[in-house]
Amino acid sequence: MRIDPFLNLTDSSSPRYKAMAAMAQVEPADAASWRVFLRNIFDRAAAQGALGIKQLQAYRRNLDYQPRADRDVRWSGQLTPAEMTVFQDWVMHECCRLADERGWPHQIHVGTNNLPQSAPLPLGPLAQRYRNMKIVMLHCWPYLREAGWLAKFHSNMYIDTCWQPVLNPAFFREALAMWWNYVPLHKIACGHDSTTVEMACGSAMFTREILAESLSERKLNMGNSEKSLRQAACAVLHNNSVALYRIGEHVSIS
C-alpha cells in the first residue's frame, strides 16, 4: 500500500481528501482523528490483501523522519515548508507504527534521484524505533556502501537491487561485488521494478547473467560448491522475498 498520498493530505477541499475520508469514514483534522483515519485505511488495505507499505518520498525530500509531538503539527491549510516537514514526519511515524503492529515490511525508495536528499543513512533510527517493521531499501545506487552498512548492522533492514540493471547493468555488478561476503545473504533481494514487458524481460536477463558471473567468481576465488552457489542464486531471486513478504513458497535446492 502506497502511503505517499497521506504525507500531503492537508487540503480538506481536494477530491483526494474527500475520497479518502469517505473511504475511512472519518475526516482527519487533528491528531486523534488522523490516528483513526490511518488505522481504518490500514485495516481496509489488510482486508483486501495488502502485505506491506511503500513510499517514494525520497523523490521530493530527505529521509530523516523525526518524531513529532501532536502539539507541534499543523493539520491543514497552506502549510509552510517547515510546517509540511513536521506534518510529514508525524504521518510517517504513525504509518510506521501501524506497519510495526502488523509486522508489515516497508519499501522505501533510496537514491537514483533527488541526490543527496535520498541518502539512506537517516533510516537507521526509524529501523531502531520500529523493530517489527522490515525496511526494504529499493534501488540504493549510488548509495551502495551506505545501504550495505545499514543492512548489515540493522536486523530489520534489507536491500532490493530493483532498477539497478535498468539504470546500468554495471551498477548491479558493482552492488553484488560490494555486498557479497559483507551483507548477510538473506538480506538481499533482486527484483526488477519494470513498467513494460520489454523492460521486465531485459532486466531479468541482465540480472541472471550478472548474477551468474558474480557467483562464478565466488567459485573461482573462494571455492564455493555448486550447490551453495545455486542456493545463493535461489535465495536472492526468490526465497528471500518469500520470507520477507510472507507470500509464495520456499524453493529447496538439492
Per residue in 87-146, pLDDT (tens digit) is 999 999 999 999 999 999 999 999 999 999 999 999 999 999 999 999 999 999 999 999
Strand partners, 123: none
For the beta sheet containing 188-189, the strands, ordered from the edge strand earlier in sequence to the opposite edge, are 53-55, 106-110, 135-139, 157-160, 188-189
Angstrom distance (rounded) from CA 205 to CA 198: 11
Spatial contact of 106 and 96, defined as CB atoms under 8 Å apart: yes
Confidence at residue 193, expressed as pLDDT on a 0 to 100 scale: 84
- Eight-state DSSP code of residue 36: H
Confidence at residue 254, expressed as pLDDT on a 0 to 100 scale: 76
Q: What percent of the chain clears pLDDT 90, i.e. is strictly above it? A: 89
Confidence at residue 223, expressed as pLDDT on a 0 to 100 scale: 75
Mean pLDDT of residues grouped by 10 in the chain (254 residues)? 94 92 94 97 96 95 97 94 97 98 97 96 98 97 98 98 93 94 95 88 93 86 83 95 94 86
Spatial contact of 226 and 240, defined as CB atoms under 8 Å apart: no
Angstrom distance (rounded) from CA 160 to CA 190: 6
Name the grid cell of 163.
532498477
